[in-house]
Amino acid sequence: MSTEARPERAAVRLSPRTVVLYAIGSLGTGGYATLPGLVLTYFLTDNLGVAALAAGLIVTAAKIWDVIIDPLIGAASDRQLARTGSRRGFMITGALTLPLFFALTFAVPPSWGPVAGAVCVLLAFLATATSFSLFQVPYVALPAELTDGYDERTRLLGWRVVVLTAAILLFGAGGPALRNAGSDPVLGYLVMGVAAGLVIGIGMLIAARTAGPSTSSGAQEGVPRNSPPASPWRDQYLSGFRALRRSQPFRALLGTFLLQALATGTMLAGAQYVATWVLRSEDAVTFVFVALVGPALLATPAWTAIARRIGKERAFAIASALFAVAALTITAAVWAPGEWIYGSVAVAGIAYAGLQSLPMAMLPDVISHDERVSGPGQAGTFTGIWTAGETVGFALGATVVSLTLAATGYISTVAGVAVQQPDAAITGIVLSFSILPAVLMAASLLTLRHYRLRRHDIDVAAEPGA
């Protein structure tokens, strides 16, 4: 089907205030996705003395918890929308509770020992993950309800990704810099956790203001729709699987996004190790993130323009291929490590902007397409499964890195103790940051080929009387 540009309906254009408030929520999503993925495994292995394999299992266990609760939160959010006309309640609860749990995650001192420290980090991070899911699942559902315009969704999500990439820079570069500002690493992690948790919570709280009375899917502003009866947990999970079974575009897009979350999660978990053991400076992780996010900030409007011209799915494929090539070039650091790595990371950053904005702009199209077939009121079900899939990808990324470290003989230590890593461990670090993400990204192009929705399908369906 044609991807030629069609005129956007003026009636669906979002106000600048709505776009800005929604985008600010990415301070929360960017912070939560970036900082734990970047430093939590390293915090466990190189500050608390936890073995690399155990550290990876801790991070994975918390993410598995996300997978369990996200579909339940999605179904509960749909019921809240039907009952009250808004998804705001869950979002505010997550925003108010996350800062405390996030700070506690990094408050464990090495003096407690690796076993007690690992258990405490696990419990605190499980609570943090719960708070984040309460916000994130309804937050991702909002674009499908705020506008039904194909290009307007790209605009909304494009500005969100501008804030997201800025948040990645803020947390990915500023978090480790704050941690290293003093001479005491234990206090540094605590200060980092408190400051980051507060910024994440504030961003979430601001974005919750966009979840006002719904005017989509037949609801009248300020008038709650009839609330469906609460269903057993089993039915709530089955509703997510039914959505996957009946929506071919959702299966294709989710499969693509899951593989890409695994690829970027692998790079994210390996970045601190690359900085410390390949670039030989713990502080170099700041420059890695500047190299990634600086180009991404500039590239996001360009990806939005490209998507308007050739369609989201084709622009998404181009961004994916560019990221795979950039990651693959970093493999050369096995033989010739050096600052040239920043150049490859910068090219990946240009692609990363597209990888963030385009699939998130395609998800509302998938939801609205399903509504025409199965009826409205199931956006939370879709976003619950989507968020769970994203979580699986990032969780397995940390697991892949920890397994690679364990298999190549990486030596864990506690704060203040210097060690020398074997050559095999350093090679494993490079490969987990380069060739593994490249292969996963290439695989995602195969699933993307099966995504069949085009601009025509969305714009024609959005016309009055369609």
Instruction: For 395-433, write each residue's pLDDT tens digit.
Output: 677 778 888 888 888 877 665 566 777 888 889 899 999
Cα–Cα distance list, 169 to 6, 164, 320, 400 (Å): 35, 9, 21, 24
**pLDDT tens digits, 115-174:** 999 999 999 999 999 999 999 889 988 887 787 777 787 788 778 878 887 887 788 778
Which residue did the predictor score with more confidence, 249 or 212? 249
Phi, psi angles (nearest 5°) of residue 209: -70, -20
Cα–Cα distance for residue pair 255/14, rounded to 1 Å: 30
Residue 186 confidence (pLDDT): 85
List domains and CATH numbers for the chain.
14-215+239-462 (1.20.1250.20)
Residue pointed to by tokens 């292969």: 439
Q: Is residue 425 a contact partner of residue 411, using CB atoms and an 8 Å limit?
A: yes
Residue 238 confidence (pLDDT): 63
Q: Cα–chain-centroid distance for residue 425?
A: 28
Show the tokens assigned to 355. 């990888």
Helices (H), 85-105: 88-105
Assign 45 a pLDDT band (cuts: 50, 70, 90): confident
- Whether 9 has a pLDDT exceeding 50, the answer reads no
**Residue 220 forms beta bridges with which residues?**
223
Residue 294 confidence (pLDDT): 79
Q: 3-state DSSP: the chain helix, strand, coil percent, rounded to 5?
A: 80, 0, 20
Cα–Cα distance for residue pair 157/388, rounded to 1 Å: 20
